[in-house]
Amino acid sequence: MVTAEDFVLKGFDKAGDTNNQLGFNVTQASVMQLPGLNTLGISMVRLDFAAPLGLNPPHTHPRATEILVLIEGTLLVGFITTNNTLISTTLQKGDVFVFPNALVHFQLNIGDVNAVAISALSSQNPGTQQVARTLFGASPPVDPAVLAKAFMIDPKLVQLLQNKFKSSS
Amino acid sequence: MVTAEDFVLKGFDKAGDTNNQLGFNVTQASVMQLPGLNTLGISMVRLDFAAPLGLNPPHTHPRATEILVLIEGTLLVGFITTNNTLISTTLQKGDVFVFPNALVHFQLNIGDVNAVAISALSSQNPGTQQVARTLFGASPPVDPAVLAKAFMIDPKLVQLLQNKFKSSS
Amino acid sequence: MVTAEDFVLKGFDKAGDTNNQLGFNVTQASVMQLPGLNTLGISMVRLDFAAPLGLNPPHTHPRATEILVLIEGTLLVGFITTNNTLISTTLQKGDVFVFPNALVHFQLNIGDVNAVAISALSSQNPGTQQVARTLFGASPPVDPAVLAKAFMIDPKLVQLLQNKFKSSS
Amino acid sequence: MVTAEDFVLKGFDKAGDTNNQLGFNVTQASVMQLPGLNTLGISMVRLDFAAPLGLNPPHTHPRATEILVLIEGTLLVGFITTNNTLISTTLQKGDVFVFPNALVHFQLNIGDVNAVAISALSSQNPGTQQVARTLFGASPPVDPAVLAKAFMIDPKLVQLLQNKFKSSS
Amino acid sequence: MVTAEDFVLKGFDKAGDTNNQLGFNVTQASVMQLPGLNTLGISMVRLDFAAPLGLNPPHTHPRATEILVLIEGTLLVGFITTNNTLISTTLQKGDVFVFPNALVHFQLNIGDVNAVAISALSSQNPGTQQVARTLFGASPPVDPAVLAKAFMIDPKLVQLLQNKFKSSS
Amino acid sequence: MVTAEDFVLKGFDKAGDTNNQLGFNVTQASVMQLPGLNTLGISMVRLDFAAPLGLNPPHTHPRATEILVLIEGTLLVGFITTNNTLISTTLQKGDVFVFPNALVHFQLNIGDVNAVAISALSSQNPGTQQVARTLFGASPPVDPAVLAKAFMIDPKLVQLLQNKFKSSS
């Protein structure tokens, strides 16, 4: 028997805690929080960005396109195409933006006030890979030789970055 | 060549005009307004409900599930299952609710202030059928014999309703 | 181990009982009756319409397109598009008609003899919402204020209709 | 502008011409005959089988499951699974049977009267491969060495069969 | 907890045993051998063809397109369209070829050395129907009357073929 | 009219040129090179890795799962889950490995000889994002403030990396 409880989730009016290195927080309404979404191919998140420069760092959703509406503040947003072209713009309150399926994208608070956005994703379980943390903070760690060559940096810098991500997780 | 303009739409901070019989307005961000949504399987709308009793009347989206977050106000929401069970609840600011794919559903402002919601839909072109207007306001009109028998009402009442919808369209 | 029993269903040569308010009956071959349909995305129904004026009232299939062939009799059929246009015609024996995915549609026996149709649906579990019964016969009932405003009728008429559907279910 | 003509097809009450080697005829309602089916994932056919022993020979639909209802007569039907198990039964008037997606299947009139069936397929353009004709009647012909080894027969018999199919096409 | 073991399979460097009537062997990497493929819509096989004239006989994959790369040797390959046209060519080492979804196709070693190919299929569980064995080697056997009429051959030849396939299985 | 030319592509026996910073080359058989793949949901690539330490750097395929078979050499391979767990192993000749849809993954030649792999992807147009180049080599460049904060590094180091990727493109 389904009931209304399976289809409702409270709390998207509460600001997430942005007191962290990125100045950023995400509140989720995926199938784990909202069981009624099962098989329905959609979900929602609230995004909070501290001022100034709260950042949702470059990341992908392996199984979803994202459509975002800015509720408060000013965001620099962008995604990169498979041709390595950056598609970017500045959003003001009330602007809607699309991040196509599984492409790397980011959002940065470039205004003076905290920013708030609502995003919907085209999967009940979209998943997220924060690219920097995926590469330098994976457990067990990725072989430094892979990252040194990929980023054209010294292996010692790779290990320094891996230590930073390890201690910040 | 894609550009940022294909992926951005302005204006979701503006209240829609609810000065109409229903006290309701919908602002769309579908593939017609946002060409970057093409093939991506998602879209967004802003819903405005006048106080008191602004109504998004019973309707379906033939090609989409809807997930709604209430930004301002108080809404009575509900959908009816294929077993004819009403799943309904009252939403306060910050609540998220799910309306499963293509089922009849509605939202009613039962608060003292204008209500505002953001919804996402699992299609770039979800379509909408307002049930009462679909039945009584179609052009050309549906044969009154069909509607009289379906609703167990007098054919004269059907024609009266058809005239009301015709003059209000 | 699958056996032929999982893939066969008897009885589509038997007329359904149309001795009811609508003069209509549907015999189903969905995944519940025919387990071999599981995951295969198709199902079938037999539709019986008493003469005169047996009615399959306005309804949707939330998860399916329907293709119908008229075996006996004469039917007035129609569906309404998301632009509120009625697409309608009269079918004679041997005519095939298409009702696109999840749109409101109906069939009415306008001939002198009982009508029989076979329909296939593009889901093993298409579901059905009879619009009038969904709105006025849901359990628990939809708030009369919603229906009064949606249909531009008096709340007392709403309750009268809700009582009719309650007593006829 | 869509019109009712895009959604209707006449003629499924007419028996197809079974005066051929197989004693069999198929009348199609696919997207080529019924443009309204475009993108909707379903289609229909009428199947006529002469008495006795009219045969819809072993074939596949590369893009569709088939659900069949027998309108008149008696059919021996069957499909073979990917484990090489024959799932077969005898259908009487009014029986419904399912042939899962793309598997080899057949129908044989084993009664004394002409048989008529209606089938629906889970694609607007299901396609058909009659296996014997596909193998021995393709143009240009399949190398006889392939068919001789596959069927464990003499290459001369292969060419004799290829000539038969060529002259009967 | 997923582990690397779920995503790895050993042994595609080993030649399959082609000491059989067809001179052919297939080594599979489907979801049964590689559980990590579950829901991912792809799989792989290694194909070995003895010299001369090792044959992958005419067959279908009911749920998959196949893309093949020839690693060693020379193959005559082909598929037949739903218009009964043979699309065929000779592949040399390093050539890639496509066999569209569920169509009948074959590969024959026409070189002097053993041939080896790698194919990928667009399903984690594509299934296979070898057409000759499906028709003449099914269990229980297909009624000889069906096969005699379909192939325009004598029923006694049908039974002779059925016996051959039975004893070779 | 389709012909065999639409379905065949030559050249996968030729080693790609690995004389570059990564010691790596990819040869593609996607819908752009093989038009017969259109709509069929699969494609293939040949991957060449110089010895020692040729690297296919961390990247995603936004629209595809990848299944790889190692033809020659020894590879360290891995992907990172959305829980930030590294799933990694060493492949020898003949091993098959799966990289699930759109997740970050890599392959590194850890052997003494050039390595060669064949991969299939579950899309006719899978796309690729090399993560480091996507972030630091996009055109126009991503705002250094985004990358500095995401990687917890100095903005001057970001610009140094951006210059490296610019001059190596």
pLDDT in tens, C91-114: 999 999 999 999 999 999 999 999
Q: Which chain E residues are within 8 Å of D80, Cβ to Cβ?
A: 129, 134-135, 138, 142
Nearest to A122 among B14, B40, B97 (CB): B40
Nearest CA distance, A108 vs chain B (angstrom)? 16
Give the number of other Cβ atoms within 10 Å of residue A8's Cβ.
19
- Under an 8 A CB cutoff, do A134 and F84 touch? yes
Nearest CA distance, A38 vs chain F (angstrom)? 19
3-state DSSP helix/strand/coil percent for chain C, to nearest 5?
Answer: 20, 35, 45
Q: Do chains E and C touch (3 or more CB pairs under 8 A)?
A: no
Answer whether residue C85 shows pLDDT above 80.
yes
Say what the pLDDT of residue E140 is. Answer: 97
What is the C-alpha separation between E115 and E51, in angstroms, rounded?
A: 7
What is the C-alpha separation between D134 and D59, in angstroms, rounded?
A: 9
Answer whether residue E9 shows pLDDT above 80.
yes
Say what the pLDDT of residue A102 is. Answer: 98
- Under an 8 A CB cutoff, do B78 and C140 touch? no
- Under an 8 A CB cutoff, do D41 and C122 touch? yes
Say what the pLDDT of residue B168 is. Answer: 84
- Under an 8 A CB cutoff, do E104 and D131 touch? yes
Exposure class string for A108-144: b at 16+ Cβ within 10 A, else e:
bbbbeebbbbbbbbbbbbbbbbbbbbbbbbbeebbbb
- Under an 8 A CB cutoff, do C131 and B131 touch? yes
pLDDT confidence band for A1 (50 / 70 / 90):
confident
Return the partners of chain C (3 or more C-beta pairs < 8 Å).
B, D
The answer to whether the bond into B141 is cis (omega within 30° of 0) is no
Q: Which chain C residues are within 8 Å of B55, Cβ to Cβ?
A: 146, 149-150
Element (H, E) at A132: helix A131-136
DSSP 8-state class, residue A131: H
Give the number of other Cβ atoms within 10 Å of residue B33's Cβ.
14
Answer whether residue D169 shows pLDDT above 80.
no
Chain F residue with CA closest to E102: the answer is F40
Answer whether residue E169 shows pLDDT above 80.
no
Chain D residue with CA closest to C88: the answer is D4
pLDDT average, residue stretch E143-167: 97
Answer whether residue B169 shows pLDDT above 90.
no
- Under an 8 A CB cutoff, do C80 and B55 touch? no
Is the ipTM beyond the 0.90 threshold? yes
pLDDT confidence band for B147 (50 / 70 / 90):
very high
Residues in chain F predicted with pLDDT less than 50, given as ranges, are none
Nearest CA distance, B69 vs chain A (angstrom)? 7
Nearest CA distance, F33 vs chain A (angstrom)? 17
Nearest to F122 among E9, E40, E92 (CB): E40
Quick one: angle between helices E155-168 and E144-151, nearest 10?
Answer: 110
Q: What is the count of residue pairs from A and F with beta carbons less than 8 Å apart? A: 159
The pair of structure tokens assigned to C39 is 């995951």
- Under an 8 A CB cutoff, do D12 and C95 touch? yes
* Domain D4-128 falls under CATH 2.40.50.140: no
Say what the pLDDT of residue A29 is. Answer: 98
The sheet with strand E24-29 has its strands ordered as E24-29, E43-49, E115-121, E66-72, E96-99, F8-9
Question: pLDDT tens digit string along A126-155?
Answer: 999 999 999 999 999 999 999 999 999 999
Say what the pLDDT of residue F168 is. Answer: 84
Q: Which chain B residues are within 8 Å of A43, Cβ to Cβ?
A: 67
The residue of C151, C157, C158 whose CB has the most chain B CBs within 10 angstroms, and thus the best one to mutate to test that interface, is C151
Question: pLDDT tens digit string along C118-129?
Answer: 999 999 999 999
Say what the pLDDT of residue C156 is. Answer: 96
Do the Cβ atoms of E54 and E111 come closer than 8 Å? no
In single-letter form, the type of residue at position F25 comes to N
Torsion angle of the four alpha carbons E64, E141, D99, C9, in this order, in degrees rounded to the nearest 10: -150
Nearest to C88 among D4, D13, D120 (CB): D4
- Under an 8 A CB cutoff, do E67 and F42 touch? yes
Q: Which chain C residues are within 8 Å of D69, Cβ to Cβ?
A: 12, 29, 44, 46, 118
- Under an 8 A CB cutoff, do F67 and E44 touch? yes
What is the C-alpha separation between A63 and A67, in angstroms, rounded?
A: 14
Say what the pLDDT of residue F1 is. Answer: 78
- Under an 8 A CB cutoff, do C161 and B150 touch? no
Say what the pLDDT of residue D71 is. Answer: 98
Nearest to B4 among A66, A87, A121 (CB): A87
The residue of C20, C28, C84 whose CB has the most chain B CBs within 10 angstroms, and thus the best one to mutate to test that interface, is C84
Instruction: Report percent pLDDT > 90 for chain D.
Output: 97
* Averaged confidence pLDDT in chain E: 97
- Under an 8 A CB cutoff, do B82 and C128 touch? yes
Do the Cβ atoms of A131 and A60 come closer than 8 Å? yes
Nearest CA distance, F54 vs chain A (angstrom)? 9
Q: Which chain A residues are within 8 Å of F128, Cβ to Cβ?
A: 82
DSSP letter for each residue of B99-131: E-TT--EEEEE-SSS-EEEEEEESSSS---EEH
Answer whether residue B79 shows pLDDT above 90.
yes
The answer to whether the bond into F57 is cis (omega within 30° of 0) is no
Return the partners of chain D (3 or more C-beta pairs < 8 Å).
C, E
Q: Which chain B residues are within 8 Å of A93, Cβ to Cβ?
A: 13
Answer whether residue E159 shows pLDDT above 90.
yes
- Under an 8 A CB cutoff, do E13 and F93 touch? yes
- Under an 8 A CB cutoff, do A95 and B122 touch? no
Residues of chain F with CATH 2.60.120.10: 4-128
Say what the pLDDT of residue E28 is. Answer: 98
Q: Long-range contacts made by residues C85-93, C-beta under 8 angstroms, separation at least 24?
A: C85/B138, C85/B139, C85/D2, C86/B138, C86/B139, C86/B140, C86/B141, C86/B142, C87/D2, C87/D3, C87/D4, C87/D7, C88/B140, C88/B142, C88/D4, C89/D4, C89/D7, C89/D8, C91/D8, C92/D10, C92/D13, C93/D13
Nearest to C98 among D12, D37, D101 (CB): D37
Nearest to C67 among D85, D87, D120 (CB): D120
Exposure class string for D130-139: b at 16+ Cβ within 10 A, else e:
bbbbbbbbbe
Backbone angles phi, psi at E48, to 5 degrees: -115, 135
Question: pLDDT tens digit string along F70-89?
Answer: 999 999 999 999 999 999 99
Burial of residue B153, with CB atoms counted within 10 A of its CB: 0-12 exposed, 13-18 middle, 19 or more buried: buried
What is the C-alpha separation between A42 and A64, in angstroms, rounded?
A: 9
Q: What is the largest CA-CA distance in chain C?
A: 59
Q: Which chain F residues are within 8 Å of E91, Cβ to Cβ?
A: 8
DSSP letter for each residue of D20-36: STTSEEEEEESTTT-GG
Nearest to C47 by CA among C7, C14, C92: C14
- Under an 8 A CB cutoff, do A98 and B36 touch? yes
Say what the pLDDT of residue D1 is. Answer: 78
pLDDT average, residue stretch B116-137: 98
Nearest CA distance, A86 vs chain F (angstrom)? 6
pLDDT confidence band for C158 (50 / 70 / 90):
very high
Q: Which chain F residues are within 8 Å of E37, Cβ to Cβ?
A: 67, 98
Beta bridge partners of D66: D99, D121
Nearest CA distance, A146 vs chain F (angstrom)? 7
Answer whether residue A169 shows pLDDT above 80.
no
Nearest CA distance, C8 vs chain D (angstrom)? 5
SS3 E14: coil
Nearest to B8 among A9, A37, A89 (CB): A89
- Under an 8 A CB cutoff, do E60 and D62 touch? yes
What sign results for the dihedral spanned by CA atoms A107, A111, A114, A115?
Answer: negative
